[in-house]
Chain A
Amino acid sequence: NAGVTQTPKFRVLKTGQSMTLLCAQDMNHEYMYWYRQDPGMGLRLIHYSVGEGTTAKGEVPDGYNVSRLKKQNFLLGLESAAPSQTSVYFCASSYSGGRFEQYFGPGTRLTVT
């Protein structure tokens, strides 16, 4: 079991460029999440999905889009990167919401110059 994997691990973008972060899980989890982590701010939820083909906005969705075409994959897109999107991005998955543990990927460090 690989658990939750994220690609790429590191990326540097110029302002205005676009990119897609890929998250994959092999635990057959229904729920998947994208967070960003910034110093002193903890983890903030960007978007999440409660099942294949469904997505919903989290706390800080502006500037990001997501897709969940397959149950095991959750993609996070930045259409026009801005320096404020410099952050570490974590993907997580869980069997369901509420009481169920979330399993995290190793993170993607994104720098936008």
Chain B
Amino acid sequence: AQSVTQLDSQVPVFEEAPVELRCNYSSSVSVYLFWYVQYPNQGLQLLLKYLSGSTLVKGINGFEAEFNKSQTSFHLRKPSVHISDTAEYFCAVSKSFQKLVFGTGTRLLVSP
């Protein structure tokens, strides 16, 4: 069974600093990888996804993620964060026609 590990439960960062949120997955076959964002008191929305092709994926709000098959990682990055990026970020993995498996989430706290 596939699983997702988000090692950092919380990442504090100052505004305009770069950030990386880490995600590792376990699967022996090809997978689809996703990052979802949850703003306070809201549902989740898709930030970006990797299905195939280029390993660098760009998403909304200036975020990007890199798929690394050898390290089974899909880390999320942003070169300069804003206060409005404060949210919880979830990494998720699935296989063909199968269900999403979510990580436990990383809370990004951006302070001025």
Which residues of A are in contact with B by a Cβ distance under 8 Å? 4, 33, 40-45, 48, 58, 90, 92, 96-99, 101-102, 104-107
State whether A97 and B99 are in contact (beta carbons under 8 Å apart), knowing that A42-B90, A42-B105, A43-B90 are contacts in the complex.
yes
> Please, which residues of chain B bring their CB within 8 A of the CB of A43?
44, 90, 102
Pairwise interchain contact A96-B43, C-beta atoms closer than 8 A:
no
Known A99-B49, A106-B42; further 10 A-B contacts with Cβ < 8 A: A33-B99, A42-B90, A42-B102, A43-B44, A43-B90, A44-B102, A92-B43, A97-B94, A98-B32, A102-B46
Q: Among the listed A41, A42, A92, A96, which residue makes an inter-chain contact with B97, where contact means beta carbons less than 8 Å apart?
A: A96
> Please, which residues of chain B bring their CB within 8 A of the CB of A42?
90, 102-105
> Please, which residues of chain B bring their CB within 8 A of the CB of A33?
99
Q: Chain A nearest CB: distance from B35 CB in Å?
A: 11
B44 nearest in chain A by CB position: A104
Which residues of B are in contact with A by a Cβ distance under 8 Å? 9, 32, 34, 36, 41-46, 49, 51, 90, 94-100, 102-105
Q: Once the chains are docked, how many angstroms separate the CA of A107 from the CA of B39?
A: 12
B100 nearest in chain A by CB position: A102
Q: Once the chains are docked, how many angstroms separate the CA of A56 from the CA of B60?
A: 33
Of the listed residues A4, A42, A96, A105, the one surrounded by the most CB atoms of chain B closer than 10 A to its CB is A42
A4 nearest in chain B by CB position: B43
Pairwise interchain contact B104-A40, C-beta atoms closer than 8 A:
yes
Pairwise interchain contact A99-B103, C-beta atoms closer than 8 A:
no
Pairwise interchain contact B43-A101, C-beta atoms closer than 8 A:
no
Q: Chain B nearest CB: distance from A109 CB in Å?
A: 9
Of the listed residues B44, B49, B95, B104, the one surrounded by the most CB atoms of chain A closer than 10 A to its CB is B44
> Please, which residues of chain B bring their CB within 8 A of the CB of A58?
99
> Please, which residues of chain A bring their CB within 8 A of the CB of B32?
98-99
Q: Once the chains are docked, how many angstroms separate the CA of A70 from the CA of B36?
A: 28
**10 interchain residue pairs of minimum CB distance:** A104-B43, A42-B104, A97-B97, A43-B102, A42-B102, A104-B44, A98-B97, A98-B96, A99-B32, A101-B46
